[in-house]
Each structure stands twice: as structure tokens, then as C-alpha cells.
Amino acid sequence: MDRSPAPVLAGVHHLKLPVADLARSREWYADRLGYEAAIEFIEDGRLMGCMLRHPRGGPDFALRLDPARAEAAAGFDYFAIGVPDKAAIDELAERLTALGEAHAGVHLATVGWILPMLHDPDGHEIRFYTIEHHTPVNTREHHTPVNAREHHTPVNAREHHTPVGTEGTMTVRDPRETAQQREQAHGAPSAPAAAGRPDHDGAAGRPPEQDRAPAAE
């Protein structure tokens, strides 16, 4: 069987998380990130889930009432929500801080900027990553070049680039240390960590005097 052609896909349809209190989580995502309820799922007369939509580009987001799975899934970053550029992710960090939410601030990551260590009421880590790149990325023939999208800053215009492979796959060794080196080259991060910074596996960070830059994914 010829496995060379990739199947046709169309991005992420929606994200889904288990929650312990549907009303609480729905309110949190609405207040912190601006999500709006679009669909409610009733089973045997009980509200068991809802689909949230975002008015300004966020992915569709489903919440499912499942306290046991919500507890088991807490603490891990299952996904990263895209943000257009550095200015937008800085603005988001300021918004979250003003709302009293702890997070690790905006940091240089492998090819863009990352805002990690925001946690929803169930402890799920919600990460944000810019679509704008600061580092050139190899692109295959069927990909849109990263510096050809309208909202991108040309990635070859930055002073600090990370060397990447030439075979179509970017290799990042020691991503946490790489992120730390980039931040030292570019200066301090845009916002201080409110509750430590994440280790490479997304766990809670060390105290500020011992921690290092967030995992650069």
C-alpha cells in the first residue's frame, strides 16, 4: 500500500476538556478569554456539556461535565491556543494579570512567543503561542512559507535566529536552555512569573530564584 500521500485534513475542529463544574468553567472562559456559549448538550434532563465560540479568532471549545477526568487531567498542557503576534500576546498577558490570574508571562519559545502557566478552575494549563515567528522554519513544498502570511513579521528580519536542519524537520535540543539563552540575548521577559515558571514537562515551576525559562515548544 502506498502511504506517501497524506490524507486531507482541515485543522483543529474544536478542543474539549473535562470539567468538575460546568457553570464555573463556562463563566471562567467567558470572563478571562471572551468565549461565548453556542451549544448546550442536555442528557436525561441534565446539562452535561457546552460548546463555546470565540468572537475574535479563538478555536471552538467544548466543555464536558466529568469531575473524575477533570481531576486526572489537571496540570498538563494539552494544547496551545494561537495568538496573532507579539503585541497581541503581550496584551493578553496584561489582561490576565489585571483579572488576577497567575501566569508565567511572555517568553521567547522555539519559533514564536509563548504565554504559559495559566490554569483554569480545574487546573488545566492553558498555553498561548504566537503565529508570528521570530525564527526561520523549514517548510515543505506544500506549505505556505512562514514569512508569506499577511499577519507575519518576516522571520528573516530578526537579529537572533536559531539554526535549523535542512531536511524539512526542525530539531530543537534542550529547549528550556535554548529559551533561556534567547531571553538573555533579547533582555528580560515582558512580564514576571506570578507563580514560578514551568519545567519542560509543564509541571509547576521552581521558586523564582531557582527557575529557568519556560519549556520552549
* pLDDT tens per residue, range 85-125: 999 999 999 999 999 999 999 999 988 999 999 999 999 99
Beta strands 36-43 and 125-130, pairing class: unpaired
CA distances from 137 to 50, 133, 147, 198 (A): 37, 8, 9, 25
Helix extents (H) in the chain: 22-33, 67-73, 86-98, 175-186
Looking at the chain, the domain(s) classified CATH 3.10.180.10 span 14-73
pLDDT value at residue 3: 73
- Taking the alpha carbons at both ends of the chain, their separation in whole angstroms is 34
Beta bridge partners of 115: 128
* pLDDT tens per residue, range 17-43: 999 999 999 999 999 999 999 999 999
- The b/e string for 148-164 (b: 16+ C-beta within 10 A; e otherwise) is eeeebeebeeeeeebeb
Closest CA to 104 of 197, 217, 37: 197
CA distances from 192 to 60, 71, 186 (A): 30, 28, 15
Instruction: Check if the beta carbon of residue 64 is closer than 8 Å to that of residue 76.
Output: no
What's the mean per-residue pLDDT of the chain? 78
CA distances from 38 to 26, 63, 89, 131 (A): 11, 12, 25, 26
Please tell me the class of the 14-73 domain: alpha beta
CA angle 193, 117, 121 (to 5 degrees): 120
CA–CA separation, 125 and 115 (whole Å): 11
pLDDT band at residue 186 under the 50/70/90 scheme: low
The answer to pTM > 0.85 is: no
